[in-house]
Amino acid sequence: MAEERSERRIKVVAAMPGLDCHDRGLIYLTSLFRNSGMEVIYLGKFNTPENIVKTAVDEDVDAIALSYLNDHLYMMFYPKIMELLKENNAVDICVVVGGRIAEEDVPELEKLGITGFFEQGISDKTIVTHIVERVNSERWELHA
């Protein structure tokens, strides 16, 4: 499977956990990822951490892009998603988050393994470059 992963396009699950209904940013990112040559599985809004991780594992994705705009409620979901990835031996999946992320939460989320934090207004190139570099780094490690 590692060889197959290294030859195919980057595959991303895009989702919003919980009850946040502000999905314009996630829809935009889905389009950005597709226009950048990535394959996107769009789960949209109102997802459970279990559904997001199950889909990511079942679809053998390279990255998960999460968005959340409602206060600090993401701290109910992001740690659970990272825990489930660990339980499913899927810590090689790059996880990035966007929306409103409080600066004081970033260190804790980084410790969990989230690698990208993208606020509103960040450049498209920064987001795409981060995912491509993280995924290619993982792919290189698989072949080393």
Domain boundaries, the chain: 2-143
Q: Per the CATH hierarchy, to which homologous superfamily does domain 2-143 belong?
A: Cobalamin-binding domain (3.40.50.280)
Length of the chain in terms of residues written: 144
DSSP-derived pairing of the beta strands 63-68 and 39-47: unpaired
Closest C-alpha among 81, 28, 126, 83 to residue 42 = 28
Contact 46, 19 (CB under 8 A): yes
CA angle centred on 80, ends 104 and 17, rounded to 5°: 85
pLDDT of the chain, 144 residues: tens digit per residue? 444 555 689 999 999 998 888 888 899 999 999 999 999 999 999 999 999 999 999 999 999 999 988 777 899 999 999 999 999 999 999 999 998 899 999 999 999 999 999 988 899 999 999 999 999 987 655 444
Closest C-alpha among 50, 99, 45, 47 to residue 70 = 99
Residue 138: Cβ within 10 Å count = 18
Task: Please state whether the predicted TM-score (pTM) of the whole model is above 0.75.
Answer: yes
For residue 51, the SS3 value is: helix
